[in-house]
Amino acid sequence: MLRATLKSLLARKLRLILSGLAVVLGVMFVAGAFVVTDTLGRSFDGLFADAYSTTDVGVTAVPKAAVDDVDGEEVPTPLPAVTLDKIKSIPGVRVATGLSEADGARVIGSDGKVLTSVGPPRMGTAWTGEDGLLQLRQGRGPTADDEIAVNAAVAKAAGIKLGDRVGVLTLEPKKEFTLVGVWGYSGDRDSLGGVQEVAFTEPVAQKLMLGRTGILSSIRVQAAAGVTPEQLRDDVAAALGSGYKVRTGEQMAQDNAAGLKEGLSFVNQILLGFAGVALFVGVFLILNTFSIIVAQRTRELALMRALGAGRRQVITSVMVEAVVIGLLASILGLAAGVGVGALLTKLFDTFAGGGLQLAPVGVPLAAVISSFTVGLVVTVVAAVLPALRASRIAPIAAMQDVATPDRPLTAISVTGGAVTAAGAAALGTGLFADAGSADLWLILGGVLVTFIGVALLTPLISRPVISVLGRLFSWSLPGRLGRLNSARNPRRTAITAAALMVGIALVTGVTVVMDSAKSSLRAEAARVLKAEIIISGDQNGPRPPTYDPAVVTSAATIPGVRAAAALWNDQVSIDGAQTWVDATDDLPQLATAFGAGQQAPLRDDQIVVSRPEATERGWRTGSQVTIQASRGDPRTYTVAAVFAEDALPGSIIMPAAATKDFGITQPILGFVRLDQGTTVDAVLPQIKTLLADSPEVSATDANAFVEQQVSTFDTIITMIQVLLALAILIAVLGVINTLALSVLERTRELGLLRAVGLGRAQTMRMITVEAVVISVFGALLGVVVGAGLGTAVTRALENDGITELVLPWSRMATYLLLAALVGVIAAVIPAIRAARLNILGAIAHD
Amino acid sequence: MTPTTTGEAIAARADEVWKVYGSGEARVVALRGVSASFGQGRFTAIMGPSGSGKSTLMHCLAGLDTVDRGSVHIGGTQVSGLGDKALTRLRRDRVGFIFQQFNLLPTLSAAENIRLPLDIAGRKPDPQWWDVVIDTVGLRDRLSHRPSQLSGGQQQRVACARALVARPDVIFADEPTGNLDSRSGAEVLSFLRASVREHRQTIVMVTHDPVAASYADRVVFLADGEIVDELHDPTAETVLDTMKRLDTYGEPVMI
């Protein structure tokens, strides 16, 4: 029995390759995700092990306002300089070095643009001299207050050389320095992990990076001979007492690497999302292939039954095929995944500045295990139904010459209806009922179950829809024959179309939500934003672009300007919880810029809050609120006023005085409202001139600003469309598969048609119409289901600000056209095969 | 032996046709220089034991198979050497086919199946001739049925109607009654003969059934790829006699 199974497996290589490919793709993404995470993780480990190779023990302060890793930048809580002297006196300490460094030193390149970073920090440090790791390549370290040295990565990216005057943005606005040195790292590295570094003299670094002199960001300690780092750590910790974090260099390296690795989980999730879609669609494809194989082998299987094979043996025979395909696909997918992983790792490195010394690509055991598990489970699960059906073939079928009879669709449709209802219910509960953390799973599960339900309903829907759709192509006889053929086996057509449906439904759904969000944002901006000119910049790293607040003060004096206000934004800690707050230098002007009516100026100890925020926290005018910003000590503020929701930006607005303790001490947005009768063109150039020393931002009119904001949604749509491309690729495989099998099944029919005079071109057109009808049907289902899902999600988000519902008609039409094209492409090979058919052989074909 | 039909126009003709399959050990000579003419408006049966080459001869005549040597003509057109496009057009416009089984498209109704060659060509059937054909095969009340709703005999009559409706130069029938019971077979054969008698249709039929052959005007006997005998105005008895004689003439072959 086993040998017979394997023989028949080999006889259908092409079909197996086609159905296996979907699994290969899915497994590829799973394995790729693991390989990327593993390789980059090890690279980070190596990087930080290097960076802390000269540190035996590191001392930092316990942070005052812990900023969560995703949204904000950790601002080092400074240590008083006296701590250094204390440490130096501890026995066992050979050298203790005070460091004054923080993220946020942005170098302006020779082209006048700020060097951007997509991930690695832009550190400003105090020059501490060369060591085994850090090596000067040119010049010397900075000795005067207006001198800097940079690492070679910065020098290359900025295009600057010794002697140049270089602008640097720090906690303070642009300042110019003379470049006196360029350094690199051992092993001829330009940087460690792509980090951009600028070194000042110590007092300058403290002032510009930490906010004032006389404080340190951390202290690096090296142990005397014979003292282990652990011993030293315990000694230092004991000597300093509480309020300090004392770690060995090894611990610090691990902690830092762990933080970065957490960020990697994002990459991981995207790849696993791709894998999920590929495998979900792949299940349809495999299910279909096995159903067809079983149908074609009916007589063979019945003969086996007649010769005494048991039901279980028939099931085993089909399942063995599935296992073999699953295994092969897993092996190929794993191999491809290692390739993709290596490629993505390289890309990541290039993208992040190329400074990462990549660890050799490895294949973690987890990748191997998950690849085989996923590949096998998906294939075997998809083969269960066909296997059961095969086992029900009666031995008598071997003697009868019956094609598989068209089974009634009642059972499948009732099941489909029930499953769709269950999915919709889960989705509804997740979206509209407040189920807490279960929400996301309810939504995801609901979408998945809905897809399966609709797929089960598809055979029923296919009859009327295909009949209508097909008429579009029925003007000629080949078209009519193609249409009739596509309606011939509703189950097969349905499952092929369903594979296409999934991808198109996903992308349509996301597009509906995104377009609705865009439209809502536009409407909201039109309603709230009264300022005609906005100062803002593109954020393409963890730190937002900032500018000199003096620009706004000057802008307010330009004739024709009615109001100009700057807006800061940062995370603070209130009652121990992280909250985003805003700050402004001039509340009355901000209120005017937003058309919010009169607001009294904010004193340095006052804040204003929005009504929903006040209600939630139980604050009233006059309430006392203690706020801990990123630096400094907690301060108490009085609620000066409560403003109507959306009247002003954000929900808590602090005075500009508070921003000196912010992690980001400069404003990120500016609003300028003009007098009536003053045109944007009259004022904009003057504001642009004022921004000459703030190259991270630019001034635009309000429309351009809003469009820039909504373009984020377009980025998401583009990303989702990549996913669509993948799903479509797999669906094309499905259409090819179905058509190839149809051609094979109808060999005699094709022979007859050719014998009575159907030309080759006509034959090809017939097959193409069949493919196009199936694909467009799938796309139509996808667009409808996707629009439904998108509408549901949009409605559920109504309270979160997505008030408008926009159906992307042109995009949906594009997807339908795309599907037609997919059909044409998928038909090429089967059509050529059909046209080349040997007529005599076809007629004699059994 | 070169059977000819005197004094009549020729609908199809084979001249010194050779057909060889395979090579070396597996080499089989299916036709050894066969020459035969099929007169217009005549009903000719080709008979012979299995492997005698009778089906191969028909396939070569109909342009379904190529010849290795010699030539085939349908009407005035030389079939051997035509490209796929010309062959397709020839089959569509000038040749009709009736096969033993699987003669119809299951997705089309009886009427659509009958019209198929005309629809492929984009032509409209001549209404008068359509009525004549439909009445001849007696299917008027079954025209909207699908093949699966028709009996085997009815299906074969639809196939005959399809071959007739395009008024081809010649109809090739390959064991048209092989899958039918004797009553349905007799019906089919009767109107094949009627279409020859009344409408001067040319039919070439391959069969191994002496009764079926007796409906023809003439029977050509093949054995081992050569024409070995022929009968005019045959009856079932004379055909059977000839076949018995040929059995002893060649190798013993089961019929």
Q: Does A225 score more than 60 pLDDT?
A: yes
CA angle B11, B15, B20 (to 5 degrees): 120
- Partner A contacted by B121 (CB < 8 A): yes
Q: Residue B42 is encoded by which pair of tokens? A: 């005549």
ipTM here: 0.81
Q: In chain A, what residues touch B162 (CB-CB under 8 Å)?
A: 756
Q: pLDDT grade, residue B103 (50/70/90)?
A: confident
Report how far residue B135's alpha carbon sits from residue B141's, in angstroms, rounded to the nearest whole number. Answer: 10
The answer to whether A362 and A285 have CB atoms below 8 angstroms apart is no
**Mean pLDDT computed over A3-25:** 71
**Mean pLDDT computed over A516-529:** 85
- Partner B contacted by A755 (CB < 8 A): yes
Q: Letter for the amino acid at A325?
A: I
**Mean pLDDT computed over B160-181:** 88
- Partner B contacted by A834 (CB < 8 A): no
Tell if the CB–CB gap between A484 and B92 is shorter than 8 Å.
no
Q: pLDDT grade, residue B99 (50/70/90)?
A: confident
Min mean pLDDT across A7-21, A222-236, A825-839 is at A7-21
The answer to whether A669 and A566 have CB atoms below 8 angstroms apart is yes
Could you read off the pLDDT of A91-146 as tens digits, one per residue? Answer: 888 888 888 888 888 899 888 888 887 777 889 999 988 887 889 999 999 999 99
DSSP 3-state percent helix, strand, coil across chain A (nearest 5): 55, 15, 25
Tell if the CB–CB gap between A748 and B84 is shorter than 8 Å.
no
Structure confidence at residue A845 (pLDDT): 52
Q: In chain A, what residues touch B121 (CB-CB under 8 Å)?
A: 757
* Chain B residue whose CA is closest to A763: B120
Q: Does A72 score more than 80 pLDDT?
A: no
Tell if the CB–CB gap between B88 and A758 is shorter than 8 Å.
yes
How would you class A741 by CB atoms within 10 Å of its CB: exposed for 0-12, middle for 13-18, buried for 19 or more?
buried
Could you read off the pLDDT of A411-454 as tens digits, one per residue? Answer: 778 888 888 888 888 887 777 776 566 677 777 788 888 888 88
Min mean pLDDT across A56-70, A536-550, A621-635, B154-168 is at A56-70
- Partner A contacted by B85 (CB < 8 A): yes
Report how far residue A647's alpha carbon sits from residue A268's, in angstroms, rounded to the nearest whole number. Answer: 40
Structure confidence at residue A507 (pLDDT): 87
Tell if the CB–CB gap between B102 and A752 is shorter than 8 Å.
yes
Tell if the CB–CB gap between A752 and B120 is shorter than 8 Å.
no
- Partner A contacted by B83 (CB < 8 A): no
Residue with more model confidence, A243 or A63: A243
Q: pLDDT grade, residue A178 (50/70/90)?
A: very high
Q: Does A200 score more than 90 pLDDT?
A: yes
**3-state secondary structure at position A522:** helix
How would you class A767 by CB atoms within 10 Å of its CB: exposed for 0-12, middle for 13-18, buried for 19 or more?
buried
Count the Cβ atoms, other than its own, within 10 Å of residue A94. Answer: 12
Tell if the CB–CB gap between B91 and A759 is shorter than 8 Å.
no
Q: How far, CA to CA in Å, does A466 sit from each of A50, A476, A484, A487, A741?
A: 64, 17, 9, 7, 20
Tell if the CB–CB gap between A840 and B107 is shorter than 8 Å.
no
The CATH number of B42-55+82-249 is which of 3.40.50.620, 3.30.830.10, 3.40.50.300, 3.30.360.10? 3.40.50.300
Where exactly are the structural domains of chain B? Answer: 42-55+82-249
Q: Does B254 score more than 50 pLDDT?
A: no
Q: pLDDT grade, residue A66 (50/70/90)?
A: low
In chain B, DSSP finds a helix count (H) and a strand count (E) of 8, 10
- Partner B contacted by A789 (CB < 8 A): no
Q: Residue B179 is encoded by which pair of tokens? A: 């899958």
**Mean pLDDT computed over B33-51:** 89
The answer to whether A370 and A363 have CB atoms below 8 angstroms apart is no
Q: Does A60 score more than 80 pLDDT?
A: yes
**Mean pLDDT computed over A568-587:** 87
Report how far residue B62's alpha carbon sits from residue B11's, in angstroms, rounded to the nearest whole number. Answer: 11
Q: In chain B, what residues touch A758 (CB-CB under 8 Å)?
A: 88, 92, 120
Q: In chain A, what residues touch B64 (CB-CB under 8 Å)?
A: 755, 839-840, 843
**Mean pLDDT computed over B200-207:** 92
Tell if the CB–CB gap between A758 and B93 is shorter than 8 Å.
no
Structure confidence at residue A71 (pLDDT): 41
- The phi, psi pair for A808, rounded to 5°, reads -80, 80
Q: Does A352 score more than 80 pLDDT?
A: no
Helix (H) or strand (E) holding A607: strand A606-610
% of residues, chain A, pLDDT over 90: 12
Q: Where are the beta strands (DSSP E) in A358-412?
A: none
Residue among B104, B107, B121 minimizing CB distance to A485: B107
**Mean pLDDT computed over B110-117:** 89
* Range among A276-280, B50-54, B155-159 rated most confident: B155-159
**Mean pLDDT computed over A743-749:** 81
Report how far residue A100's alpha carbon sits from residue A285's, in angstroms, rounded to the nearest whole number. Answer: 60
The answer to whether A519 and A722 have CB atoms below 8 angstroms apart is no
Q: Does B5 score more than 50 pLDDT?
A: no
Tell if the CB–CB gap between B107 and A758 is shorter than 8 Å.
no
Q: Does B150 score more than 70 pLDDT?
A: yes
Structure confidence at residue A529 (pLDDT): 81
Q: pLDDT grade, residue B2 (50/70/90)?
A: very low
- Partner A contacted by B59 (CB < 8 A): yes
Distance from CA of B29 to the nearest CA of A (A): 18
**Mean pLDDT computed over A278-296:** 78
Best of B88, B162, B169 to mutate (most A CBs within 10 Å, chain A):
B88
**Mean pLDDT computed over A62-72:** 51
Structure confidence at residue A69 (pLDDT): 41
Tell if the CB–CB gap between A757 and B93 is shorter than 8 Å.
yes
| Residue whose C-alpha is closest to residue A413's, from A488, A505, A491 | A491
Mean pLDDT of chain B: 85
Q: Does A65 score more than 70 pLDDT?
A: no
Q: Does B255 score more than 50 pLDDT?
A: no
Q: pLDDT grade, residue A501 (50/70/90)?
A: confident
CATH code 2.40.40.20 region(s) in chain A: 547-693
Q: Which CATH class is domain A547-693?
A: mainly beta
Structure confidence at residue A204 (pLDDT): 92
Q: Does B45 score more than 90 pLDDT?
A: yes
| Residue whose C-alpha is closest to residue B155's, from B132, B185, B129 | B185
Q: Where are the beta strands (DSSP E) in A644-679?
A: 652-655, 669-674
**Mean pLDDT computed over A164-191:** 89
Q: Does A798 score more than 50 pLDDT?
A: yes
- Partner A contacted by B92 (CB < 8 A): yes
Residue among B85, B91, B122 minimizing CB distance to A756: B91
Report how far residue A753's alpha carbon sits from residue A710's, in angstroms, rounded to the nearest whole number. Answer: 56
Tell if the CB–CB gap between B103 and A756 is shorter than 8 Å.
no
| Neighbouring residues of B21: CB distance < 8 A, sequence distance ≥ 6 | B27, B28, B30
Q: Does A653 score more than 90 pLDDT?
A: yes
Tell if the CB–CB gap between A757 and B108 is shorter than 8 Å.
no
Q: pLDDT grade, residue A306 (50/70/90)?
A: confident
Tell if the CB–CB gap between A477 and B85 is shorter than 8 Å.
no
Q: In chain A, what residues touch B92 (CB-CB under 8 Å)?
A: 756-759
- Partner B contacted by A225 (CB < 8 A): no
Tell if the CB–CB gap between B88 and A481 is shorter than 8 Å.
no
* Chain B residue whose CA is closest to A759: B88
* Chain A residue whose CA is closest to B96: A756
Best of B116, B149, B170 to mutate (most A CBs within 10 Å, chain A):
B116
Q: Does A228 score more than 60 pLDDT?
A: yes
The answer to whether A217 and A60 have CB atoms below 8 angstroms apart is yes
- Partner A contacted by B123 (CB < 8 A): no
Which residues of chain A from 470 to 529 reach within 8 Å of chain B, CB to CB?
Answer: 477, 481, 484-485, 488
Which residues of chain B from 172 to 211 reach within 8 Å of chain A, CB to CB?
Answer: none
Q: Residue A813 is encoded by which pair of tokens? A: 């039409």
Q: In chain B, what residues touch A756 (CB-CB under 8 Å)?
A: 91-92, 96-97, 116-117, 120, 162
Structure confidence at residue A727 (pLDDT): 79
Best of A402, A748, A756, A773 to mutate (most B CBs within 10 Å, chain B):
A756
Which residues of chain A from 617 to 646 reach within 8 Å of chain B, CB to CB?
Answer: none
Contacts within 8 Å (CB) and 24+ apart, A407-411 = A409/A459, A409/A460, A409/A490, A409/A491
Structure confidence at residue A568 (pLDDT): 92
Distance from CA of B97 to the nearest CA of A (A): 7
* Chain A residue whose CA is closest to B119: A477
Tell if the CB–CB gap between A748 and B93 is shorter than 8 Å.
no
Q: Does A759 score more than 90 pLDDT?
A: no
In sequence order, the β-bridge partners of residue A571 are A580
Tell if the CB–CB gap between A760 and B91 is shorter than 8 Å.
no
DSSP code at position A433: S
- Partner B contacted by A347 (CB < 8 A): no
DSSP string, A296-344: HTHHHHHHHHHTT--HHHHHHHHHHHHHHHHHHHHHHHHHHHHHHHHHH
Best of B103, B107, B108 to mutate (most A CBs within 10 Å, chain A):
B107
Tell if the CB–CB gap between A749 and B106 is shorter than 8 Å.
yes
Q: Where are the beta strands (DSSP E) in A336-438?
A: none
**3-state secondary structure at position B162:** helix
Tell if the CB–CB gap between B97 and A755 is shorter than 8 Å.
yes
Tell if the CB–CB gap between A756 and B120 is shorter than 8 Å.
yes
- Partner A contacted by B162 (CB < 8 A): yes
Q: pLDDT grade, residue B50 (50/70/90)?
A: confident
| Residue whose C-alpha is closest to residue A28's, from A284, A373, A271, A267 | A271
